[in-house]
Structure 1
Amino acid sequence: MTVSEQLVRVGPAVELFVARTTEAPGSCPLLVIHGGPDWDHSYLREPIVERASRHDLIFPDLRGCGRSTRGLPDDHYTPDAATADLVALLDALGVRQADVLGFSYGGYFAQRLTLAAPERVRRLVVASSAVLPVPPDAFDGWAERDRRRAAEAEVWADPSLSGPDLTRAAALAGAEANVWRPEVLDASRERVSRVRFSAEWARPYLAGTLPTARVDRAPERLAALGLPILLLHGRQDMTFPAELAEQAAKLIPSARAVVLDEAGHMAHVDQPARWTAALADFLDRP
């Protein structure tokens, strides 16, 4: 399998770094949108690259992330701007229609892309993310979550850390909360260690100026489109409650939820074979 890498101009001041496979000509491409948002796409390559024989895979780094354009004014890091970049990327790559997978925070961008340009999306996968708002008390009483998330909270409160050093340290400290199975923790940390972290989005977030990425009335609006939607989740997700995926599937007739047991937020790391099987079952349907 060959993965090509290129910079693609999507606006006057923005280039997106894109990793791409092109071994399945004539197939519907799969656009993969990472989360973070101050991460890059690399932590999602495995196991998604197993789909390279069935899809041309498109892995962009969002603006301000990884090897894409950084150094923009803080008010240029918005969900609307990132969504517009993704539409422009499809245009620049000559992709008329794609399957779209958004992971975690990228799941919000995937929903926004689908609603902004529904004709460009064949199927939508919202992975380890949410369609419904997360209630403030969603995780109350979950002592194991409190224990696992404590180390990351300490990092964010450390005044000696800033910039990419802060986001990297927080991600590594949060690894135990992002996977559920202890036996994959070391591999997950090693995967995270290879990410090219930025802190472009963290600045407006910490300043309280970053607009919400959550889509208003998302279930109603997605249901109106009628396109197939997979809500792929880990049962022990400590970022977005798994119950929300199941609730959303009941509100969207064209959606179905697949919730994997013994899997946390990084469900693709906890249960790669089952995660990939669920993705294949959804994407390979006529």
Structure 2
Amino acid sequence: MRLYCREFDGPADRTLLVIHGGPDWDHSYLVDPLDQLAGAHRLLFPDLRGCGRSPAEEPLTPDAMVADLAELIGEGPVDVLGFSYGGLIAQRLAIQHPALVRRLIVASSSVLPVPDDAFEGWEEYERRRALYPSVWDAPGLEGVALTRAEAFACAPCEVWRPSSLPRYLEILEKVRFTASYLGVYRAGKFPSARYPDGPERLEATGIPVLLLQGRQDMTFPAFLAERVPFAESVILENAGHMAHVDQRTDWLRAVQKFLE
């Protein structure tokens, strides 16, 4: 398996591997502001198997993603930042290959499962969800067009500050979407990236963990980060799921501090 990987030069012993979310997105929406770490850190931005410019070779599973990343790291260890769904893959990587992960940042994701009623009673969540119709059953939308349309339709829920929305839409325009996982996801056949005992397994690795979250995240609620005693947590106010867009400076500062 050959992954497409964008690299920024820096010391090999200060490598940061960045794992994007989606899946069916590429890495590009995370480059800014992390590229400011280049020089002080070597940065690796792979496109996961079947995502962006990486080929969609079977099996398309979380474990295959983890195996690809372990091969990319090589001897390690490296620091790892996993964003959204990439945060789940990053945890799985740490659990399966603890010797390869020096420090772990779980950004806009969660260690604990999201309860079904996580957003119940949150009026702003309901208001923003009502701003866009579901595109999943829209006529004529299939494949990459559907993945892309869903990302744009969800944009009002992904950033919290209205002033962030134009910038976020510009970022989405540059994302190379795929549809490798769309069929198995819609059919309910895409394996979960979570272990049933994931928190216990992650704690047992002894790897330092930072949970970096927006207070107004409408995908992975911030209160879950505050319920993980073995991890450090940073909750950014006035920030949604794309906290690195809403609070760019503070988000990057939290990453830098943890990696010192």
TM-score under structure 1 length normalisation: 0.88
RMSD of Structure 2 on Structure 1 (CA): 1.2
Q: Give a deviation string over 1:83-130, Cα, whole Å, max 9, x none.
A: 111001112xxx521000000000010001101110111100000001
Once the two structures are superposed, the pairs formed by residues 82-161 of structure 1 within 5 Å of their partners are: 82-91=65-74, 95-151=75-131, 153-161=133-141
Q: Does 1:21 align with 2:8?
A: yes
Matched, 1:50 2:50: no
What CA distance in whole angstroms lies between the structure 2 residues aligned with 1:88 and 1:149? 39
Q: How does 1:1-286 map to 2 (within 5 A)?
A: 14-22=1-9, 24-70=10-56, 72-73=57-58, 76-91=59-74, 95-151=75-131, 153-248=133-228, 250=229, 252=230, 255-284=231-260
Displacement of 1:26? 4.3
Deviation of the 1:215 alpha carbon:
2.6
Q: What residue identity is the alignment partner of 1:136?
A: D
2: CA distance, partners of 1:262 / 1:100:
25
Q: Is contact 1:108–1:215 with CA below 8 Å preserved after alignment?
A: no
Report the Cα offset of residue 149 of structure 1: 2.5
Point out where structure 2 has 5 or more consecutive residues left out of the alignment: none
Question: Alignment partner of 2:213: what SS?
Answer: strand
Contact kept in structure 1, 2:34 and 2:252, CA below 8 Å: yes
* Unpaired segments ≥5 residues, structure 1: 1-13
What amino acid maps onto 2:50 in structure 1? G
How far apart, CA to CA, are the structure 2 residues paired with 1:274 and 1:245? 17
1:126 match: secondary structure: strand
Q: Secondary structure at the match of 1:155?
A: coil
After superposition, give the CA deviation of every residue in 1:130-180 in whole Å (9 maximum; x if it has no partner).
100110000111222122233555112313211000010110111110000
Q: How many residues align?
A: 260
Contact 2:159 2:239 in 1 (8 A): yes
CA–CA distance in structure 1, aligned partners of residues 210 and 189 of structure 2 = 31
Structure scoring higher RCO (CA < 8 A, sep ≥ 6) equals: 2
Q: 1:16 is paired with a residue of what secondary structure?
A: coil
Once the two structures are TM-superposed, the CA of residue 54 in structure 1 deviates from its matched residue by 1.6
C-alpha deviations, 1:218-264, integer Å up to 9, x for none? 2211111212110000000000010001102x2x2xx1100000000
Paired residue secondary structure (1:15): coil
- SS of the aligned residue for 2:102 comes to strand
SS state of the match for residue 41, structure 2? coil
- CA distance in structure 2 between the aligned counterparts of 1:40 and 1:152, rounded to whole angstroms: 23
Paired with 1:27 and 1:15, the residues of 2 have a C-alpha distance of 23
TM-aligned CA distance change 1:157 to 1:148, over 3 Å: farther
Partner of residue 6, structure 1: none
Q: Kindly provide the amino acid, as one letter, of the partner of residue 40 in structure 1.
A: D
